Amino acid sequence: MSTETTTAVEKKESLFSKKNRKLLTDPLDDSNPITVQVLGICSALAITVQVQQAVIMSLAVLFVMIGGNVIVSLMRNIIPDRIRIIVQLVVIASLVIIVDEVLKAYSPDISEKLSVFVGLIITNCIIMGRLEAFALGNKPGPAMLDAVGNAMGYAWILLAVALVREVFGSGAISFPGMGQVKFLPDSWFYANGGFYENNNLMILPPMALVTVGVIIWIQRARNRSLIEEN
């Protein structure tokens, strides 16, 4: 399906024209869905305790976003305006159910850890937002790029936050398929007469918020045009 749409777009405009490339790169930085638009915060706070959950969550969101954006973009001319939200919801919900079932089948333990948050992808504002703001008015090719860009923008924040939280909160690193690897020697910890202790606050959601806040701080210190005037 994607090859067909790609050739259709290429007739007028290259899929990787400068404008389309911006669709891919903008969400990574200047219009990042989490740090600039402040969407999808709930899942970013809830599932960033371990990197492996963040990776799986990012992949799930990537899949749902690409699917949703392309499908809605293909149907954009036949969706009646009045019921478009319901149609979008049906599309997203079907995709989320696919993700949920696949996760349950192939990686039940991570599925258990992500618990309701896979199901809650349906209500992830980033996805609804991109469908409303982009897919409904654009061809499938750019819609796909937009989906990839935004999903990646979501993913790198998630991974960055999860990395900080897991390293300082659990003294470990995890990756899907690899499990969690504790890299600090046991003898470092107070329980074994050492001098170190993991930061328990990192495991609690408030620290995820603070970590996202620090990323926002750094981003706005680098790019002052992002600072709101009041």
Partner 1 sequence: MKALHKLVEERVKPNFTGEGKLKRFWVVFDALETFLFTPGHTTAKGVHVRDGIDLKRTMFLVILAMVPALLFGTWNIGHQYYLSLGDITAADPWNAMLFDKLIVGAIKVVPLIVVSYATGLGIEFVIAGMNGHAINEGFLVSGMLIPLIMPVDVPLWMVAVATAFAVLIAKEVFGGTGMNILNVALTARAFLFFAYPKQMSGEIWIHDVMASKAGGVLADGYTGATALGHLANTVGQPVQGEVSNGVMAMFADGGLFSLMNCFIGTIPGSVAETSALAALIGAAILIWTGIGSWRIISSFIVGGLVMGVIFNQLGLNAYMTIGPVHQIVMGGFMFGAVFMATDPVSAAQTNTGKWIYGFLGGFFSIMIRVFNPAYPEGVMMAILFMNVMAPTIDHYVIEANVRRREKRLTAAVA
Q: Is 184 in the site for partner 1 (CB under 8 A)?
A: no
CB 34 to partner 1: min, Å: 18
Q: Is 224 in the site for partner 1 (CB under 8 A)?
A: no
Question: Helix/strand/coil (H, E, C) string of the chain?
Answer: CHHHHHHHHHCCCCCCCHHHHHHHHHHHCCCCCCCCCCCCHHHHHHCCCCHHHHHHHHHHHHHHHHHHHHHHHHCCCCCCHHHHHHHHHHHHHHHHHHHHHHHHHHCHHHHHHHCHHHHHHHHCHHHHHHHHHCHHHCCHHHHHHHHHHHHHHHHHHHHHHHHHHHHHHHCEEEECCCEEEECCCHHHEHHHCCCECCCHHHHCHHHHHHHHHHHHHHHHHHCHHHCCCC
Give the Cα separation of 73 and 224 in Å (integer).
34
Among 85, 217, 218, 223, binds partner 1 (CB under 8 A): 217
Q: Nearer Cβ to partner 1, position 175 or 217?
A: 217
Among the residue ranges 4-12, 81-89, 121-129, 192-200, the one whose residues contact partner 1 (CB under 8 A): 192-200
Q: Nearer Cβ to partner 1, position 183 or 190?
A: 190
How many residues sit in the footprint of partner 1 (CB under 8 A)?
A: 12
For residue 136, give both structure tokens: 């409904």
Q: Is 229 in the site for partner 1 (CB under 8 A)?
A: no
Binding mask 133-172 for partner 1 (x = CB under 8 A): ----------------------------------------
Q: Nearer Cβ to partner 1, position 64 or 207?
A: 207
Binding mask 91-130 for partner 1 (x = CB under 8 A): ----------------------------------------
Among the residue ranges 32-40, 67-75, 138-146, 193-201, the one whose residues contact partner 1 (CB under 8 A): 193-201
Q: Is 186 in the site for partner 1 (CB under 8 A)?
A: no
36-74 as b/e: b if 16+ CB within 10 A: bbebbbebbbbbbbbbbbbbbbbebbbbbbbbbbbbbbe
What φ, ψ does residue 175 adopt, rounded to 5°? -150, 145
Q: Is 210 in the site for partner 1 (CB under 8 A)?
A: yes
CB 199 to partner 1: min, Å: 5
Among 82, 190, 222, 224, binds partner 1 (CB under 8 A): 190
- Site residues, partner 1 (CB under 8 A): 190, 195, 197, 199-202, 204, 210, 213-214, 217
